[in-house]
Structure 1
Amino acid sequence: MHELTPFVTLLTVHVIALLSPGPDFALVVQNAGRYGRQTGVTIALGLSLGILLHSILSITGASLLIREQPALFAMLQAAGGGYLLWLGIGATKSALELLWRKSESHASPSPAQQLIGNRKQALAKGFTTNILNPKALVFFLSLLSTLVPADMSVAGKATAISLLWVTSFLWFATLAWLLTGQRLQQKIQQWTPYIDGLCGLLFVSIGSMILLRLVLPA
């Protein structure tokens, strides 16, 4: 039972973090609602692979080296903040275009047509969104350094990383699956401009805060 305690605590903290709305959550909601189940699940896989890499870097000490190098960590923050800002601007533009098409009664591309381009990009978009998030680096570094003992066996550390990865994928994939049920999908399609707008606002807010902290350090 004592050996299970770190794993139970690790999973509990991680699940609470997964349930908190953030860039990963918004990315799944926005893209699963618009492009369908396959794209949503693929993005979930990309996000979970980003979490897997963060976990590996944290448990091997690589993340600590990045964190302790101010210039390198600042570069990561700038890249992450800029990417989230770019996602937010894109989502906002998409929301405005959809509202314009709706008001002008312009036909928008069918979900099947939209899916073709996004299917190839979904995995990369999910992975990039997570791996470039500097908050994720700090979170997993703190989580694993605190809850995984340094003297834990290699098998134990591999188990901890695997649990984080599998839990992340199952959560985001389940979210994508639920959002793409037939009835809910029809309603979501009607609300797509507003979902894009809210997700865009979230991306822009988080990205801007990250960049502002670089320019105006406390």
Structure 2
Amino acid sequence: MDINNITTFITVATLLVISPGPNGFLIAKTVPLSGQKAGVANICGFVVAFYVHGTLSIFGISILLVQSAQAFFVFKMLGAAYLIWIGIKALVSAFKVSGAKLPDLDQRNVKPVSVRNAFLEGFLTNALNPKVSMFYLAAFPQFISVNESVINAYALVTLHSIVNFVWFSTMVFMLSRIKNATNNVRFKRWLNSITGVVFIGFGSKLALMKNG
């Protein structure tokens, strides 16, 4: 594996990571409501999911998603349902905040997510996303030669994970620095509303995505 190959992969992985998607919106929802640790837990969930997709790609198991229309459909619908579920939860939280009197609003109206649940949200958001799987099926193999060792293949997954961790950790740090502003009740109501609509949109788009 030469330096040009590695540089190109990092460029492709960076563009994938920084492009708008469910990960960024999940972080933007989690940190203001549940804090920095929960945001980092989201990121750890992303990373673990990358290794799952990477492992499936390296050992050729996930090719079933491309070859089997039924397997792809089931996997796609699970991912779509999960994203829509997150969106509905966010909208419900927004309506709860809207229905409360601002001076009387307390933590019962907006419950923070535990570190464990934040990790699971991050993991499932990526593990059930066929688009991430397609990246590892379509782009990832282009950077691995026939005789490439498994260690080198996992090194690329690690590079993707590092890019992801750096980008979203920066996002978590920035959001935690403006905690006073993001803790504003009206901001939380607006954030939950936007997050809900965006995730439902992502889920609907994913449900309509065709194999190949």
Same fold, TM exceeding 0.5? yes
Closer, same or farther: CA 60–77 of 1 in aligned 2, 3 Å = same
**Partner Cα distance (1:213, 1:159) in 2:** 30
* Counterpart check, 1:187 vs 2:181: yes
**Partner Cα distance (2:133, 2:146) in 1:** 19
SS in structure 1 opposite 2:100?
helix
2:144 aligns with 148
Aligned length, in residue pairs: 210
Note if contact 1:6-1:147 (Cα within 8 Å) is conserved in structure 2: yes
**Partner Cα distance (1:201, 1:121) in 2:** 21
SS in structure 2 opposite 1:101?
coil
TM-superposed deviation, 1:110: 7.4
Q: Percent identity?
A: 26
Closer, same or farther: CA 19–102 of 1 in aligned 2, 3 Å = farther
**In the alignment, residue 199 of structure 2 is paired with which amino acid?**
F
TM-score, normalisation: structure 1: 0.88
Map 1:2-21 → 2, pairs under 5 A: 3-21=2-20
- 5+ residue gaps in structure 1? none
- 5+ residue gaps in structure 2? none
* Counterpart check, 1:122 vs 2:121: no
SS in structure 1 opposite 2:148?
coil
Q: Which has the higher helix share?
A: 1
1:90 aligns with 89
Map 1:3-152 → 2, pairs under 5 A: 3-103=2-102, 105-109=103-107, 114-115=111-112, 117-152=113-148
Note if contact 1:81-1:206 (Cα within 8 Å) is conserved in structure 2: yes
**Partner Cα distance (2:24, 2:144) in 1:** 26
**Partner Cα distance (2:137, 2:19) in 1:** 18
Closer, same or farther: CA 110–153 of 1 in aligned 2, 3 Å = same
2:161 aligns with 165
1:174 aligns with 170
Once the two structures are superposed, residues 76-126 of structure 1 have per-residue CA deviations (whole angstroms, 9 ceiling, x without a partner) of 0010000001111111111121122245x3322079x944x5223111111
Instruction: Give the ranges of 4+ consecutive aligned residues of structure 1 lying more than 3 Å apart after TM superposition.
Output: none
**Partner Cα distance (2:171, 2:150) in 1:** 32
**Partner Cα distance (1:107, 1:189) in 2:** 12
Closer, same or farther: CA 110–89 of 1 in aligned 2, 3 Å = closer
Note if contact 2:64-2:71 (Cα within 8 Å) is conserved in structure 1: no
**Partner Cα distance (2:86, 2:181) in 1:** 24
